[in-house]
Structure 1
Amino acid sequence: MSTTVPVLEILPELPAARVLNALRAAFTELAGGKATQPPQTVTLLPGGGDVIAYQAAQGDAYGVKVSPYLPQPGGRAVITAWTLLLSTRTGRPLLLCDAAALTVERTAATSALAVDEVARPGAAALAVIGSGPVARAHLRYARAVRDFTSVRMYSPSLTASAAPEDVTVAGSAEEAVAGADVVLLCTSAAQPVIDAAGLQPGTVVTSISTNAPRAHEIAPQALAAMDVYGDHRPTVTATAGEMAIAAEQGLWSAGDLRGDLPELLTGACPAPTGDRPVFFRSVGLGIEDLAVARLLLNP
């Protein structure tokens, strides 16, 4: 007997608190061995391009997000993402959704969870580098975990009239970052966008991934002078561009990673020293996609 599988091409609005709670639970279960997070897999396509698969299992569900990168002759590459949710009790599909918006939400929420764990209790000044959907989602989730009283945002195209509410538009990345307690890097840049060497001790910087090979939003050599954390220890150290480059140059190693989100949430790794800037790197995980996709079954 066939059943209709829900196909969502528009993500319903999900409260930030629900998304954050779902991700906290998922990462905590991952720490306790009650969830599974395999490595990303990359399939190279004949003639160019690739498809990245992000898998995970949690509770009675398995999820996989497939994200094709399809170069186009003489034009911009096609990049899509679809998440499939399966029941691990029946083996039947539960949901198929366009994962573009889902990825924005889970990426921003993951950064916010890290900020809540590693930022100083009195952190009040926030800087956001970038102004697109990912940057605005980061701002929304950061405000859900901390009461920032000062927010500066910078991107080359951002104007005061287009800025989010209660946000000051900075004239440069350097101006946005100056004096910030937390810096959220939300760009598609393949090269550093701030000078991490000039950051004050205790300043938290978060960084995300892009499709550019070995993309990095801070210089690899900056890692040696920072307390470094990631979303998932086995994945981030193998995938993050600045970590791979720094390791190859003998400037930093995977053993220098102080902890990941499962460890931070369960107290299984040391807290930041307070003597150095803090760097949190996320590369995107199937467990994040799965946690948010499960919410879509009961939005």
Structure 2
Amino acid sequence: MRVISSPQVAEQAVLASLRDAFGDLSRSETPVPGQFVIELPGGGDVIHYPAVLPHAGVYAVKVSPYLPDPAGPAVVTAWTMLVSLSTGQPVALLDASGLTVERTAATTVLAADLLLPPDAATAAVIGYGRIGRAHARYLSHLRPGMTVRAFSPGGIDEVDDGVRAVASIHDAVTGADLVMLCTSAADDVLDPRTLPPGTVVTSISTNAPGAREIPPAAVPGLDVYVDARTSLQVASELAQAATAGWDPATVRGDLAGLVAGHAPRPSGERPVYFRSVGLGIEDAAVAWAACRNDDDTTKGLPQ
């Protein structure tokens, strides 16, 4: 087994691997596994993200420990292991800390590209940290002609090429066809109901209990899409909306359906909301793309 401590992967390879993974999922009758949390004695937890990639011939699991430290910041790591479905042997162990950023941004932007009309011209990134910058980077690959505006509550010291910093959320979202929420906020950042019908809003939020970026009360007034149906129990605002009477069966589609072309298009009558929580299949796809970038690791496996 090869240990890859600094995996490298190009954006186009990540996007292609995600399309393959969700394409596999669209043809499968097996639901995508969700997240599994193991509580640790004395506090902390380990989240497990399992997945199978049939086209790659591997099983994958990412483990992400959260280890509180009373004397300072908590320790947070992430590692993904790939196991051959032919031999049952480990193929690679990858440091997934950086890969998690890639899969988060790539998943959002892949969904947004499939939900947006061809003539979408302007995007807003709310929260221009490491993950927000990755969102803008992936968007430049799939929608290179879009204007991108960015806002962060604490200000933005520097922006990447093609991105313009603005002074407020209002300045960022006004006239935007796509609004990507990339914050670690514990409460509402934006109410999508204030945006014109057809505007695509994406949210990643965090795994913290109760964390959300939009109000649960807004959910019934949106065309809702998710990365997978299992996300309905994990995404705080969707779970709270369901408790208040919203019917999860009204979700219009998931990412597998969007990739395969089975999910219905947005109605055009309401803002559109795509919610991702981070799935093992996304981690597996990005790890596989990184492994394929390493010739020795994937020798003898399906290509």
Match of 2:215 among 219, 237, 247: 219
The amino acid of 1:215's aligned partner reads A
User: 1:98 matched to which residue of 2?
Assistant: 95
**Percent identical:** 51
Q: Secondary structure at the match of 1:147?
A: coil
Q: Partners in 2 of 1:211 and 1:36 — Cα distance?
A: 21
User: 2:298 corresponds to which residue?
Assistant: none
The question of 1:55 aligning with 2:16 is answered no
Aligned residue pairs total 291
The residue aligned with 1:136 is 133
In 2, the alpha carbon distance for the partners of 1:163 and 1:31 equals 37
Deviating 4+ runs (over 3 angstroms): none
SS for the counterpart of 2:292 is coil
Match of 1:263 in 2: 257
Q: What SS class does the counterpart of residue 165 from structure 1 fall into? A: coil
2:183 counterpart of 1:183: no
Whether the aligned pair in 2 keeps the contact of 1:185 and 1:217 (CA below 8 Å) is: yes
Following TM superposition, by how much is the alpha carbon of 1:296 offset from its aligned partner in structure 2, in angstroms? 2.1
Question: Structure 1: which 5+ residue stretches go unaligned?
Answer: none
Counterpart among 231, 236, 239 of residue 234 in structure 2: 239
- How high is the TM-score relative to the length of structure 2? 0.92
TM superposition shift of 1:149? 3.5
Distance in 2 between residues matched to 1:158 and 1:35, nearest whole Å? 44
1:70 correspondence with 2:67: yes
Counterpart amino acid of 1:26? A
Please tell me the root mean square deviation across aligned C-alpha atoms, in Å: 1.5
Do residues 206 (structure 1) and 202 (structure 2) align? yes
SS at match of 1:127: strand
Counterpart residue identity of residue 189, structure 1: A
Of the candidates 265, 284, 291, which is equivalent to residue 290 of structure 1?
284
- What residue identity is the alignment partner of 1:146? R
For 1:15, the equivalent position in structure 2 comes to: 10
**Closer/same/farther in 2, CA of residues 69 and 87 from structure 1, 3 Å limit:** same
1:32 aligned to 2:27? yes
Which residue identity lines up with residue 67 of structure 1 in the other structure? S
**TM-superposition CA deviations, 1:181-228 (whole Å, max 9, x none):** 001111111111123221111100111131311211111111111100
TM value normalised by structure 1: 0.93
Contact 1:228/1:279 (CA < 8 Å) preserved in 2?
Answer: yes
**CA-to-partner distance for each residue in 1:96-120, whole Å, 9 max, x for gaps?**
1111111111111111110111112
- The C-alpha deviation readout for 1:98-149, integer Å capped at 9, x for no partner, is 1111111111111111011111221110100111111111111112111343
The structure-2 alpha-carbon separation of the partners of 1:34 and 1:292, relative to structure 1 and needing over 3 Å to count, comes to: farther
Give how far 1:75 is off.
Answer: 2.7
AA in 2 matched with 1:44: E
TM-aligned CA distance change 1:94 to 1:35, over 3 Å? farther
**Distance 1:277-1:36 versus aligned 2 partners, 3 A rule:** closer
Tell me which amino acid in the other structure corresponds to 1:200: P
**Cross-structure match for 2:300:** none
Q: Is residue 81–residue 99 contact of structure 1 (8 Å, CA) maintained in 2?
A: yes
For 2:258 and 2:67, the matched residues in 1 are separated by 36
Q: Give the Cα–Cα distance (whole angstroms) in 1 for the partners of residues 75 and 206 of structure 2.
A: 14
Query: Residues 36 and 57 of structure 1 are in contact (CA less than 8 Å); yes or no, is this contact kept in structure 2?
Result: no
1:147 to 129, 144, 147: 144
In structure 1, the partner of 2:160 is 164
Higher relative contact order (CA 8 A, sep 6+): 2
Distance in 2, matches of 1:11 and 1:188, equals: 25
| Matching residue's letter, 1:152 | R
Q: Which structure 2 residue ranges, 5 or more long, are not aligned?
A: 294-303
